[in-house]
Amino acid sequence: MPTILLIGQKTTISLINDRTRELWQSFSPRKKEIKNLANQDLYSVEIYPGPEYFQHFDPTKEFEKWAAVAVSEFDKIPKGMDDLTIPSGEYAVFHYKGKPSEVMETFKYIYGEWFPTSGFTIDNRPHFAVMGSKYKGEHPESEEEFWIPIKAKQ
């Protein structure tokens, strides 16, 4: 995957203190302020504090969450927003169709079944979901992609 330039808003959350809805409610009306859009997709990005985040499940562990869009350059960043560069690298991409509120089984599969048998481990780069033209929010036909950074096991 090539480098992706994003502009958006961020917050610190945990699985127990999930403020994703508030983040998107704050960002969505302001999306029109962002110039140089690369496409119309929305990006939900998670930046975890390191590989140890996944070693012992703790729903109180905090991480950085972004609501963002891809841009072609960072020349005009609206006040109250930040820029983020997702570096190039290898990603495992998982297609999901269904209500976002029902995604937990997909994540259980990815982290509990796919990773242990894949020959890969999680790389320390941003994780993200791409919500494109088929994303319909809480509709059962909604579609999105989960991009998880990977590297070969050593």
pLDDT confidence bin for 1, thresholds 50/70/90? confident
Q: Give residue 50's pLDDT.
A: 84
Q: What is the DSSP letter of 53?
A: G
- Three-state SS for the chain is CCCEEEEEEEEEECCCCCCHHHHHHHHHHHHHHCCCEEEEEEEEEEECCCHHHHCCCCCCCCEEEEEEEEECCCCCCCCCCEEEEECCCCEEEEEEECCHHHCHHHHHHHHHHHHHHHCEEECCCCEEEEECCCCCCCCCCCEEEEEEEEEECC
Contact 150, 63 (CB under 8 A): no
Taking only the tens place, the pLDDT of each residue in 66-103 is 999 999 999 899 999 999 999 999 999 999 999 998 99
Span 114-137, average pLDDT: 94
Span 14-41, average pLDDT: 95
Q: Is the pTM of this model over 0.85?
A: yes
Taking only the tens place, the pLDDT of each residue in 39-67 is 999 999 999 998 788 888 789 999 999 99
Is a pLDDT exceeding 90 seen at residue 126?
Answer: yes
Q: Which amino acid is at 81?
A: M
The encoded tokens of residue 68 equal 């963002």
**67 beta partners:** 9, 44
% of the chain exceeding 90 in pLDDT: 84
Q: Give residue 30's pLDDT.
A: 97
